[in-house]
Every structure is written in C-alpha cells, then in structure tokens.
Amino acid sequence: MATILVAFDTLDEGFERIPSDHTLIRPPHGRDFTQEELAALLPEADVLCSVFDIPVRADLIARGGKLRLIANYAVGYNNIDIDYARSRGITVTNTPHSVIAPTAELAMALLLSCSRRIVELDTMIRRSPGVKVAMGRTDRMGLPLAEKTLGIVGYGNIGEAVAMRCRAFGMKVIYYKRHRLSPQEEEAKGITYASLDELLRASDVVSLHTPYSPETHHLIGERELALMPAHAILINTARGAVVDEEALLRALQQGSITAAGLDVFEHNDCPLAELSSLPNVVMTPHVGTQTEDARLKMNHEMLENVARFLAGRTDISRVV
C-alpha cells in the first residue's frame, strides 16, 4: 500500500477518492510543509502532491527513494524539476481542466479593469468620501473593446477560453503559438495566426498564456514592448518571468503602452515596488484559481490522478 505525502494545506474534499488502505500524510491545517519537513518525510513517500509555489527540485526528489508519482495541484509545473523526475522514471501529473474557466475569468477581470480604468476611478471616489467626483466629458477615457484586436500569446486551453470571451465582446482575435493550427481549425475557431512581432504590432490588447520555460523566459521584453502600440494593454495571468518586469515598468512609466493587468510577477510573485505607484497597473496576487469551485475541482482532479495512478490506470493528466 502506498504513502501519499501532501506537501500543502488544501481542502478535505476529494480525499475520499483515495482508498483507505493507503497512508495519507498532510500538514496541519493553516500551513504547508517546509522544505526541511518534506525532505525528512519523502523517503517514506510513494506519491508527492505538490503545488506551484513549493519548489520540487532535484535535491528534494532525490530524497524520495520510493517516489513514483508527483501530482501537481496546478496546470503549470515549472516548480518541478521535470528532467530529473523523468530521469528517475517518476510520473508527473497536473490539473489542466479545473483551472481553465477561473483563470480566463480573471484575465477578463483584469482586462476590463484596465480598459475602463476601474481601479483608478474607484480610487478617485474613495479619496473624497461623500463628494461627487467631477468628470469632464473627455477625462480619463477608456479603451473600447468592441471591434478591437486581441492578441493571444500561447493559444492553449486558457488562451482559447479568453479568446472565446473576448469574441463575445466583439473583438477580433489573432494568436501566436509555436505550432500553428490548421486552416480548418483557425476557421472553426474564428482566429487568425500572426508571428509574435506581427501580433504585438497589431493588437490593442495582448494576453499572455504560455507556460513558463527557458524558452518563454522574458518572451516579452523591451524590444517586444516597443512593438506594441501606445494605446495597447498587456494582460499577464501566465507566469511572471514570461515578461521582463523591469522593462514593463519602464514601458508603463514612459507611456509606451497604456496599461497592464498582472496576476503574476517575475520575482517569486512579488511585484516591483515601483509598480504600486502607477495608476495604469492593476494587480492581483496570483489568484487565477482562487474561487471555491476551482479549489474543489483542482483537489478532485489532483486526487483522481493519484487514485487512478495507484490503481494502475493510464487515463491521468500526465505531463511526464
């Protein structure tokens, strides 16, 4: 029978999927296991349940002599040393289905907040409690979305869900990914391919949805930001280091793009301090999947992967 080490604090719902003859090791509610605790517990574990903000590096994995499965509670798995896991024959799974809609909804929330300057206007009202804020007819105008162009960088599950929502707002959608879709797929989805440079030049809104990898590190840097029109908006719900945050800060300060909506940040999800003083930035602290529904579904999806793997099934969300 297997020992399942759950590295992080999570809901209880979903654990009923694990047959009771397996041993579960979970941290006390309210906190995650530390790296030291994980290193001490791993030699006993057949399965490790991990999450995007707990690094699962080679030195930690190496402690798991019996480890057969790392089940990540996230679609992104850049917290795991995948090459080392592969070299050890350890399976890695993720939770691709439950994160799609909530993350796409957050991207829409950031987009609408930026395009209609919601946070800036809300702050104005709060600064003068009980006083009507006087707005000139042309003060603080927003960017309309209808008939504008959305550029999706990384057209996978979440990119597609954002594209679908933006099409409902009347936007034209162009996309960039490594492997272009077939003309039939493009036609069915109502999207047009562009190279990254073409997309950046042509888009009024750019929304990032690639995984983080050495290939996507600083995919959007100074050169790419300079290609975007001055009225354009950048949305990042992917991973912080897909964008060169220093370069983004300069672009926003200099007005070479209009606004940014950011859920993720380059340095361990801690935004550069200077971003906080810019009215044209809307920030959230990596909460793409922070809804009750998503948290439940992610738990179920992760634990279903564990239960199926332990039952010898291959119908799991396997990344390695």
Q: Which residues bind ligand LXYGBJRG (CB under 6 A)?
A: 51-53, 73-76, 99, 286, 288-289
Tell me which of ligand NAI, ligand LXYGBJRG, none is bound by residue 175, counting a contact when its beta carbon lies within the kind-specific cut-off of 5 to 8 angstroms: none
154 versus 200: smaller Cβ distance to ligand LXYGBJRG: 154
Q: How far apart are CA 106 and CA 87, in angstroms?
A: 36
Residues numbered 8-67 forming contacts with ligand NAI, rule: CB under 6 A = none
Q: How far is the CB of 94 from ligand NAI (least distance, A)?
A: 9
In the shown chain, the binding pattern of residues 128 to 147 toward ligand NAI, with x for contact by CB under 6 A and - for none, equals --------------------
Q: How far is the CB of 89 from ligand LXYGBJRG (least distance, A)?
A: 24
Q: DSSP assignment, residue 236?
A: E
CB atoms inside a 10 Å sphere around CB 55? 14
216 is a contact residue toward ligand NAI (CB under 6 A): yes
Instruction: Provide the residue type at 307 as one letter.
Output: A
Tell me which of ligand NAI, ligand LXYGBJRG, none is bound by residue 53, counting a contact when its beta carbon lies within the kind-specific cut-off of 5 to 8 angstroms: ligand LXYGBJRG
288 is a contact residue toward ligand NAI (CB under 6 A): yes
99 is a contact residue toward ligand NAI (CB under 6 A): yes
CB atoms inside a 10 Å sphere around CB 132? 7
Instruction: Provide the residue type at 288 as one letter.
Output: G
Cα–chain center distance at 100: 9
Q: How far apart are CA 6 and CA 49, in angstroms?
A: 5
Tell me which of ligand LXYGBJRG, ligand NAI, none is bound by residue 210, counting a contact when its beta carbon lies within the kind-specific cut-off of 5 to 8 angstroms: ligand NAI
Of 3, 50, 98, 237, the one binding ligand NAI (CB under 6 A) is 237
Cβ(152)–Cβ(175) below 8 Å = yes
Cα–chain center distance at 298: 14
Residue that has been written with the tokens 């030699």 in this structure: 43
Provide the 3-class DSSP secondary structure of residue 191.
strand
**Exposed/middle/buried for 123, CB within 10 Å: 0-12, 13-18, 19+?**
exposed
302 is a contact residue toward ligand NAI (CB under 6 A): no
Contacts of residue 302, defined as CB under 8 A and 6 or more positions apart, other chains included, come to 14, 49, 71, 72, 73, 93, 95
Of 30, 127, 178, 276, the one binding ligand NAI (CB under 6 A) is 178
Binding positions for ligand NAI, rule: CB under 6 A: 75-76, 96, 99, 103, 154-159, 177-178, 209-212, 215-216, 237-239, 263-264, 286, 288-289
